[in-house]
Structure 1
Amino acid sequence: MMPAGSRATRGAVYVEFMIAVVPLFMVFWGLMQLNGFLVADLVTRHAAVNAVRAAIVCDSDEKTKGESGAVECATEAAKMTTKAVQSIETTTVTVRGASESGNAPVIAQVSATYHCQVPLMARVVCGGSDSRVIVREATLPNQGHYYKF
Protein backbone atom coordinates (compact mmCIF):
# COMPACT_ATOMS: atom_id res chain seq x y z
CA MET A 1 0.00 0.00 0.00
CA MET A 2 1.35 3.46 -0.96
CA PRO A 3 1.15 6.48 1.34
CA ALA A 4 -1.41 9.26 0.62
CA GLY A 5 1.11 11.75 -0.86
CA SER A 6 2.78 9.31 -3.21
CA ARG A 7 3.50 9.75 -6.88
CA ALA A 8 0.53 7.60 -7.97
CA THR A 9 -1.94 9.81 -6.08
CA ARG A 10 -0.54 13.01 -7.57
CA GLY A 11 -0.83 11.54 -11.06
CA ALA A 12 -4.50 10.74 -10.46
CA VAL A 13 -5.14 14.35 -9.42
CA TYR A 14 -3.65 15.60 -12.69
CA VAL A 15 -5.81 13.24 -14.72
CA GLU A 16 -8.96 14.28 -12.82
CA PHE A 17 -8.07 17.94 -13.35
CA MET A 18 -7.65 17.42 -17.10
CA ILE A 19 -11.00 15.62 -17.28
CA ALA A 20 -12.76 18.42 -15.39
CA VAL A 21 -11.08 21.41 -17.07
CA VAL A 22 -12.17 20.57 -20.64
CA PRO A 23 -15.94 20.87 -19.97
CA LEU A 24 -15.33 23.99 -17.88
CA PHE A 25 -13.51 25.65 -20.78
CA MET A 26 -16.33 24.64 -23.13
CA VAL A 27 -18.91 26.24 -20.84
CA PHE A 28 -16.76 29.37 -20.43
CA TRP A 29 -16.26 29.87 -24.18
CA GLY A 30 -19.93 29.11 -24.80
CA LEU A 31 -20.93 31.85 -22.37
CA MET A 32 -18.49 34.26 -24.02
CA GLN A 33 -19.96 33.53 -27.47
CA LEU A 34 -23.52 33.91 -26.16
CA ASN A 35 -22.56 37.19 -24.50
CA GLY A 36 -21.16 38.50 -27.79
CA PHE A 37 -24.34 37.55 -29.63
CA LEU A 38 -26.59 39.16 -27.02
CA VAL A 39 -24.55 42.39 -27.14
CA ALA A 40 -24.85 42.41 -30.94
CA ASP A 41 -28.61 41.87 -30.62
CA LEU A 42 -28.91 44.77 -28.18
CA VAL A 43 -26.86 47.05 -30.44
CA THR A 44 -29.01 46.07 -33.43
CA ARG A 45 -32.18 46.96 -31.49
CA HIS A 46 -30.64 50.33 -30.61
CA ALA A 47 -29.62 50.84 -34.25
CA ALA A 48 -33.24 50.29 -35.33
CA VAL A 49 -34.45 52.96 -32.89
CA ASN A 50 -31.75 55.38 -34.06
CA ALA A 51 -32.60 54.64 -37.70
CA VAL A 52 -36.31 55.36 -37.31
CA ARG A 53 -35.57 58.60 -35.44
CA ALA A 54 -33.15 59.68 -38.16
CA ALA A 55 -35.68 58.78 -40.87
CA ILE A 56 -38.33 61.00 -39.28
CA VAL A 57 -36.07 63.98 -38.63
CA CYS A 58 -34.11 63.78 -41.89
CA ASP A 59 -37.25 63.59 -43.97
CA SER A 60 -37.97 67.22 -43.20
CA ASP A 61 -34.61 68.56 -44.39
CA GLU A 62 -34.52 70.19 -47.84
CA LYS A 63 -31.60 68.05 -49.05
CA THR A 64 -32.97 64.75 -47.80
CA LYS A 65 -36.66 65.16 -48.53
CA GLY A 66 -38.81 62.14 -49.26
CA GLU A 67 -38.33 58.42 -48.84
CA SER A 68 -34.84 58.23 -50.38
CA GLY A 69 -33.51 60.88 -48.01
CA ALA A 70 -35.07 59.11 -45.05
CA VAL A 71 -33.45 55.82 -46.07
CA GLU A 72 -30.08 57.55 -46.49
CA CYS A 73 -30.21 59.15 -43.04
CA ALA A 74 -31.52 55.97 -41.39
CA THR A 75 -28.75 53.88 -42.96
CA GLU A 76 -26.08 56.30 -41.76
CA ALA A 77 -27.51 56.34 -38.22
CA ALA A 78 -27.71 52.53 -38.06
CA LYS A 79 -24.18 52.04 -39.36
CA MET A 80 -22.78 54.55 -36.88
CA THR A 81 -24.48 52.60 -34.08
CA THR A 82 -23.45 49.09 -35.17
CA LYS A 83 -19.81 49.96 -35.85
CA ALA A 84 -19.25 49.73 -32.07
CA VAL A 85 -19.49 45.92 -32.31
CA GLN A 86 -16.63 44.57 -34.42
CA SER A 87 -18.28 41.18 -34.93
CA ILE A 88 -21.15 42.80 -36.89
CA GLU A 89 -20.00 42.53 -40.48
CA THR A 90 -22.77 44.15 -42.53
CA THR A 91 -25.80 46.29 -41.77
CA THR A 92 -28.77 46.89 -44.08
CA VAL A 93 -31.69 49.21 -43.39
CA THR A 94 -35.18 49.42 -44.88
CA VAL A 95 -37.60 52.24 -44.12
CA ARG A 96 -41.36 52.13 -44.67
CA GLY A 97 -43.85 54.94 -44.22
CA ALA A 98 -41.53 57.94 -44.54
CA SER A 99 -43.37 60.47 -46.68
CA GLU A 100 -43.91 64.18 -46.95
CA SER A 101 -47.60 63.91 -46.03
CA GLY A 102 -46.87 62.93 -42.42
CA ASN A 103 -49.12 61.40 -39.76
CA ALA A 104 -48.16 57.84 -40.69
CA PRO A 105 -46.00 55.54 -38.60
CA VAL A 106 -42.45 55.22 -39.86
CA ILE A 107 -40.93 51.76 -39.58
CA ALA A 108 -37.20 51.07 -39.80
CA GLN A 109 -35.91 47.52 -40.06
CA VAL A 110 -32.21 46.84 -39.42
CA SER A 111 -30.56 43.57 -40.48
CA ALA A 112 -27.09 42.94 -39.07
CA THR A 113 -24.86 39.98 -39.92
CA TYR A 114 -23.14 38.76 -36.75
CA HIS A 115 -19.94 36.75 -37.18
CA CYS A 116 -19.46 34.02 -34.56
CA GLN A 117 -15.90 34.13 -33.26
CA VAL A 118 -15.56 31.04 -31.05
CA PRO A 119 -15.19 28.01 -33.36
CA LEU A 120 -16.46 25.34 -30.97
CA MET A 121 -19.50 27.28 -29.84
CA ALA A 122 -20.50 28.74 -33.22
CA ARG A 123 -22.59 25.65 -33.93
CA VAL A 124 -24.60 26.17 -30.76
CA VAL A 125 -25.05 29.95 -30.77
CA CYS A 126 -25.07 30.65 -34.52
CA GLY A 127 -26.98 27.58 -35.61
CA GLY A 128 -24.20 25.67 -37.33
CA SER A 129 -22.78 28.43 -39.54
CA ASP A 130 -20.12 31.08 -39.11
CA SER A 131 -22.60 33.94 -39.05
CA ARG A 132 -26.15 34.73 -38.07
CA VAL A 133 -28.48 37.48 -39.25
CA ILE A 134 -30.14 39.59 -36.56
CA VAL A 135 -33.26 41.47 -37.71
CA ARG A 136 -34.83 44.14 -35.50
CA GLU A 137 -37.56 46.67 -36.21
CA ALA A 138 -38.64 49.95 -34.62
CA THR A 139 -41.72 52.11 -35.22
CA LEU A 140 -42.33 55.76 -34.37
CA PRO A 141 -45.21 58.06 -35.35
CA ASN A 142 -44.34 60.87 -37.75
CA GLN A 143 -46.97 63.21 -36.21
CA GLY A 144 -46.97 65.38 -39.32
CA HIS A 145 -44.45 67.91 -38.03
CA TYR A 146 -41.49 68.85 -40.15
CA TYR A 147 -38.46 70.24 -38.44
CA LYS A 148 -36.71 73.39 -39.63
CA PHE A 149 -32.93 73.37 -39.59
Structure 2
Amino acid sequence: MGSPLGVLFANFYMVVVEESVFSRICHPDMYVRYIDDTFIMAPSTQDIETLRRTFEECSCLRFTVEHSKDGRLPFLDVLISPNTTGFDTSVYIKPINLGLCLNGDSECPTRYKACTIKAYVRRALFHCSSWDATHQELDRVT
Protein backbone atom coordinates (compact mmCIF):
# COMPACT_ATOMS: atom_id res chain seq x y z
CA MET A 1 0.00 0.00 0.00
CA GLY A 2 1.73 3.17 1.17
CA SER A 3 5.08 3.90 2.66
CA PRO A 4 5.82 2.55 6.16
CA LEU A 5 6.69 6.14 7.02
CA GLY A 6 3.17 7.33 6.12
CA VAL A 7 1.88 7.08 9.69
CA LEU A 8 4.94 8.89 11.03
CA PHE A 9 4.51 11.71 8.50
CA ALA A 10 0.77 11.96 9.22
CA ASN A 11 1.41 12.22 12.96
CA PHE A 12 4.13 14.81 12.44
CA TYR A 13 1.91 16.91 10.17
CA MET A 14 -1.02 16.77 12.60
CA VAL A 15 1.22 17.88 15.50
CA VAL A 16 2.36 20.90 13.48
CA VAL A 17 -1.25 21.75 12.56
CA GLU A 18 -2.42 21.30 16.18
CA GLU A 19 0.27 23.68 17.45
CA SER A 20 -0.84 26.30 14.96
CA VAL A 21 -4.55 25.83 15.76
CA PHE A 22 -4.18 25.86 19.55
CA SER A 23 -2.02 28.97 19.41
CA ARG A 24 -4.99 30.74 17.76
CA ILE A 25 -7.92 29.36 19.79
CA CYS A 26 -8.26 27.75 23.20
CA HIS A 27 -7.96 24.01 23.68
CA PRO A 28 -11.31 22.13 23.92
CA ASP A 29 -12.37 20.35 27.14
CA MET A 30 -11.18 17.02 25.72
CA TYR A 31 -9.06 16.43 22.64
CA VAL A 32 -7.82 12.93 21.78
CA ARG A 33 -6.22 12.05 18.46
CA TYR A 34 -5.08 8.83 16.83
CA ILE A 35 -3.26 9.67 13.59
CA ASP A 36 -6.03 11.61 11.80
CA ASP A 37 -9.08 10.64 13.88
CA THR A 38 -9.93 12.93 16.77
CA PHE A 39 -12.38 12.73 19.66
CA ILE A 40 -13.37 16.17 20.90
CA MET A 41 -15.61 17.22 23.77
CA ALA A 42 -16.56 20.89 23.73
CA PRO A 43 -19.29 22.98 25.39
CA SER A 44 -21.22 23.59 22.15
CA THR A 45 -21.46 22.54 18.52
CA GLN A 46 -20.48 26.10 17.62
CA ASP A 47 -17.13 25.59 19.40
CA ILE A 48 -16.57 22.37 17.45
CA GLU A 49 -17.42 24.11 14.17
CA THR A 50 -14.97 26.92 15.01
CA LEU A 51 -12.32 24.32 15.74
CA ARG A 52 -13.01 22.52 12.44
CA ARG A 53 -12.76 25.77 10.44
CA THR A 54 -9.53 26.73 12.20
CA PHE A 55 -8.02 23.31 11.42
CA GLU A 56 -8.90 23.76 7.74
CA GLU A 57 -7.41 27.29 7.71
CA CYS A 58 -4.14 26.02 9.22
CA SER A 59 -3.73 23.06 6.87
CA CYS A 60 -4.42 21.83 3.36
CA LEU A 61 -6.79 19.13 4.69
CA ARG A 62 -10.58 18.92 4.83
CA PHE A 63 -12.07 17.94 8.17
CA THR A 64 -15.45 16.36 8.84
CA VAL A 65 -17.46 16.28 12.06
CA GLU A 66 -19.61 13.48 13.38
CA HIS A 67 -21.83 14.44 16.30
CA SER A 68 -23.01 12.01 18.95
CA LYS A 69 -26.34 10.27 18.47
CA ASP A 70 -28.32 9.59 21.65
CA GLY A 71 -25.23 10.71 23.56
CA ARG A 72 -23.14 7.90 22.02
CA LEU A 73 -20.27 8.28 19.56
CA PRO A 74 -18.12 5.66 17.83
CA PHE A 75 -14.38 6.44 17.87
CA LEU A 76 -12.24 3.98 15.94
CA ASP A 77 -13.85 0.65 16.97
CA VAL A 78 -15.00 1.79 20.42
CA LEU A 79 -18.51 3.04 21.23
CA ILE A 80 -18.28 5.80 23.84
CA SER A 81 -21.28 6.65 26.02
CA PRO A 82 -21.30 9.24 28.80
CA ASN A 83 -22.24 8.30 32.36
CA THR A 84 -22.38 10.28 35.60
CA THR A 85 -18.66 9.87 36.37
CA GLY A 86 -17.11 9.78 32.89
CA PHE A 87 -17.58 7.40 29.98
CA ASP A 88 -18.67 3.82 29.36
CA THR A 89 -17.05 2.02 26.46
CA SER A 90 -17.92 -1.04 24.43
CA VAL A 91 -16.98 -2.57 21.10
CA TYR A 92 -18.49 -0.68 18.17
CA ILE A 93 -19.96 -2.82 15.41
CA LYS A 94 -20.88 -1.05 12.17
CA PRO A 95 -24.49 -1.53 11.07
CA ILE A 96 -23.29 -3.12 7.80
CA ASN A 97 -21.25 -5.79 9.64
CA LEU A 98 -22.58 -9.20 8.59
CA GLY A 99 -20.73 -10.99 11.39
CA LEU A 100 -18.69 -13.07 8.96
CA CYS A 101 -15.30 -14.27 10.11
CA LEU A 102 -12.74 -16.97 9.46
CA ASN A 103 -14.49 -20.30 9.01
CA GLY A 104 -13.39 -22.86 11.60
CA ASP A 105 -13.62 -25.64 8.98
CA SER A 106 -11.39 -23.83 6.49
CA GLU A 107 -8.04 -25.15 5.32
CA CYS A 108 -6.02 -22.40 6.94
CA PRO A 109 -3.44 -23.15 9.65
CA THR A 110 -4.72 -23.73 13.18
CA ARG A 111 -2.64 -20.82 14.50
CA TYR A 112 -4.65 -18.43 12.28
CA LYS A 113 -7.87 -19.72 13.79
CA ALA A 114 -6.47 -19.39 17.32
CA CYS A 115 -5.27 -15.83 16.61
CA THR A 116 -8.72 -14.88 15.32
CA ILE A 117 -10.33 -16.06 18.55
CA LYS A 118 -7.67 -14.32 20.65
CA ALA A 119 -8.22 -11.05 18.74
CA TYR A 120 -11.97 -11.09 19.45
CA VAL A 121 -11.41 -11.87 23.14
CA ARG A 122 -8.68 -9.24 23.49
CA ARG A 123 -10.88 -6.64 21.81
CA ALA A 124 -13.75 -7.38 24.20
CA LEU A 125 -11.47 -7.22 27.25
CA PHE A 126 -9.68 -4.00 26.29
CA HIS A 127 -12.53 -2.00 24.75
CA CYS A 128 -15.34 -2.72 27.21
CA SER A 129 -15.42 -0.73 30.45
CA SER A 130 -17.81 -3.11 32.27
CA TRP A 131 -18.11 -6.87 32.66
CA ASP A 132 -21.67 -6.72 31.31
CA ALA A 133 -20.45 -5.13 28.06
CA THR A 134 -17.58 -7.63 27.89
CA HIS A 135 -19.91 -10.61 28.29
CA GLN A 136 -22.32 -9.12 25.76
CA GLU A 137 -19.50 -8.79 23.19
CA LEU A 138 -18.19 -12.31 23.89
CA ASP A 139 -21.72 -13.68 23.46
CA ARG A 140 -22.03 -11.81 20.17
CA VAL A 141 -18.87 -13.32 18.70
CA THR A 142 -19.59 -16.89 19.78
Which protein is bigger by CA-based radius of gyration? Answer: 1
State the TM-score, normalized to the length of structure 1.
Answer: 0.27
